A and B are shown apart, each in its own frame.
Chain A
Amino acid sequence: NAGVTQTPKFQVLKTGQSMTLQCAQDMNHEYMSWYRQDPGMGLRLIHYSVGAGITDQGEVPNGYNVSRSTTEDFPLRLLSAAPSQTSVYFCASSPGQVDTQYFGPGTRLTVL
C-alpha cells in the first residue's frame, strides 16, 4: 500500500492564482482531512470528509474548497491564493471516527 499520497511536494504561487492540492489514499478509509501546519500553531483543520459526497468545514476553511467524489481522492482547492496561505498542507485519512489518522508527506506552498 502507498498509504496517503500528496502532490505536488512544493508549489510557488502568485497572489490571486488558483490551484488544487491532490490527496489520495489506498486504504479504503472513509474519513479524510486537510490540515495546515504553521510554526508554533500545530495543525489546524481546514476541511474534512466522513465519506464520499460528504464534506464539512474545519477550523480554518476560508479560501479553500474541497470535494469528495470517490473514497480514494480528496483534493483541496485554493480559489485565489493569498500570502496568508503560505504553509505546509497535510492530508490525512482514518478508518474510523475516533481512530488513528494516517498522514501524507505534505505539500509546502509559498504564495508570493
Chain B
Amino acid sequence: AQSVSQHNHHVILSEAASLELGCNYSYGGTVNLFWYVQYPGQHLQLLLKYFSGDPLVKGIKGFEAEFIKSKFSFNLRKPSVQWSDTAEYFCAVNAGNYGQNFVFGPGTRLSVLP
C-alpha cells in the first residue's frame, strides 16, 4: 500500500524566515500530488497540486512545491513566512482509483512567531 511521510511534526519559525516542508511518498507509478492547508478551526483547503508538466508548481499565498520523481518527493516551500501562515499542512498523493489510492500524510504543524 502506498504511504506518505512528512518529515517534521512541528516547525516553529519567525516571520520572514524561509520555509521548506518535506513530503515523501512510496508509490512507483504515476501520481498526482497535493498540498492542503488547515488554518486553526477551519477545514482543509487546497494550496497547490501537481498532475504533470513543470515539476515546480506555484500555489496560493506565495507557496510553491517541487516534484522530484527520482526522490519520490514533493516538498513545499515559501521564501518568507507570515504569522498568518500558522496552520497545519498536509501532503497528499493520489495514484488513481479514487478513494483507494488517495492517501494523506500525517501533517506538519507550522507555528510562525510574530
Instruction: List residues of A whose CB falls within 8 A of some B CB.
Output: 31, 33, 35, 40-45, 48-50, 56, 58, 90, 92, 94, 96-98, 100-106
Q: Which segment, of B14-22, B77-85, B98-106, faces chain A?
A: B98-106
Q: How many residues of B contact A (CB 8 A)?
A: 24
Label chain A's interface by main secondary structure.
strand
Q: Are B43 and A33 in contact, CB atoms less than 8 angstroms apart?
A: no
Do residues B99 and A103 form an inter-chain contact, with CB atoms below 8 A?
no
Interface contact A90-B43, CB-CB below 8 Å: yes
Q: Which of B42, B43, B96 contacts A98 (CB 8 A)?
A: B96
Please classify the interface of chain B as helix (H, G, I), strand (E, B), loop, or mixed, using the class held by over half of its residues. loop
Contacts between the two chains (Cβ within 8 Å), count = 57
How far, in angstroms, from A96 to B94 measured CA to CA in the complex?
Answer: 12
Q: Which of A40, A43, A50, A96 contacts B90 (CB 8 A)?
A: A43
Are the CB atoms of A100 and B98 closer together than 8 Å?
no
Contact B99 A31 (CB under 8 A): yes
Of B32, B43, B102, the residue contacting A103 (CB under 8 A) is B43
Which residues on the B side are within 8 Å of A50 (C-beta)?
A: 98-99
B70 is an interface residue with CB less than 8 A from chain A: no
Whether the pair B106, A42 counts as a contact (CB closer than 8 A) is: yes
What is the CA–CA distance of A58 and B100 in the complex, to the nearest angstrom? 6
Q: How far is the CA of A92 from the CA of B96 in the complex (A)?
A: 17
Interface centre among A31, A33, A101 (most CB of B within 10 A): A101
Contacts of A41 in B (CB 8 A): 106
